[in-house]
Structure 1
Amino acid sequence: MRKTNVSKLYEAYPHLRRIDELWGTRDCREFINRLMNDTRDGQRRGFPGDHARTILRLLMEHDREFPQFEENITSDWRDTVGESRRGIQG
């Protein structure tokens, strides 16, 4: 059961109710993450502060509850650095 209060977010942006349908899936994490990034070549205005914070809380809550879908940026970065170092040394 989600703890983040989304009533004001959904009131302002009813199409974001899709989060409820996707909750607990990799698609949900990707959907929320896309909301936080500009995918419109600089044309996205962004969300007002209160709604942006709610979306961030949803992402953090989803990652805590479903860590298997969280992107592991650190290990990806380490793999890339390791490959670069091997290429330089070898």
Structure 2
Amino acid sequence: MQVVIDGAGRVDILVSDRLVIEVDGRAFHTGTAFDEDRRRDFELVTRGYLVLRLSYRQVVHDWDRTCAGILALVARNEHLWSGRGPHEAVPASPA
């Protein structure tokens, strides 16, 4: 589910407390959008989030491996704050 995180804006997926998954295709993530994506990633990481920026190819053509990696992070509780500090995320309104 997309949520809005203060300082970073709308993110594609927030898994539990802190695992942010962004899925990028070339059409919308080149040029100035590329720089904005990096600014947002930096903002999220400095706030304690774990950011995974996945390509369309990883999601569509290499899903088994991609999913296994995400599940490994969840198995290690990387998606939870676990004393890293609280944060408030607000569900995004439908576009």
Write 1 or 2 for the structure with the bigger share of helix: 1
TM-score (norm 1): 0.34
* Structure showing greater relative contact order (alpha-carbon pairs closer than 8 Å, 6 or more residues apart): 2
Write 1 or 2 for the structure with the bigger share of strand: 2
The structure with the larger Rg is 1
